[in-house]
Amino acid sequence: MNAAPTFASFPGRERLVARLDEAVALGDDQAVTAALRGALCGLIRDRDVHLPEAVFAPIDDHYARREIYRSADYGYSVVAMTWGPGQGTPLHDHCGLWCVEGVWHGQLEITQYELLDRDGDHARFRMHGGMLAGIGSAGSLIPPHEYHTIRNPSDRDVAVSLHVYQSEMKQCAVFREQAGGGFVRQAVALARDAC
């Protein structure tokens, strides 16, 4: 029998969970993600909510993924990501899960892509827009519009983002650009770093 996960306690955790529960209880993907964007923007600015100190410590060779909460009632997962200077993701999807992402500390460069066509593991994309997101901003991804990259553009500062996923995200697909054009899809298991 698997034990239920335990998560770090932090100041304002109950307030964060209550706001997220309220949003997720709406049920409809569009309504949920809109409510979560508003909730995250408010929570990031709430002086009584402080993420665990560990989420501000980068890891040298990869961006950190630290799950800080998972709802037993609604199934959503909250992951704090720590981005060292210049760290980022390859082009990837969320395997069909909606996600709302908010910048807690620093800045992140987010680039969205539109899938033009796919033949098996080969795909073609077009850059569909991008933004430099600062503290207190939040955005959402709702499949099929889920292809994107995230990168910390700073060469010296750490960035931290909070991601609320529809459920625990254990894997995703990354798309590696090929020399002759196009991308090749690769399934990737996602690790969690200690909090």
Name the binding residues for Fe cation: 92, 94, 148
- Quote the CA–CA distance of 192 and 176 in Å, as a whole number: 22
**Annotated binding-site members:** 92, 94, 148
- Cβ atoms within 10 Å of 87's Cβ, excluding its own: 21
Q: Which two tokens stand for residue 107?
A: 């800045």
Strands 159-165 and 99-105, by their bridges, are antiparallel
Task: In whole angstroms, give the CA distance from residue 133 to residue 35.
Answer: 19
Contacts of 35 (CB under 8 A, 6+ apart): 22, 23, 26
Place of tokens 């009632």: 73
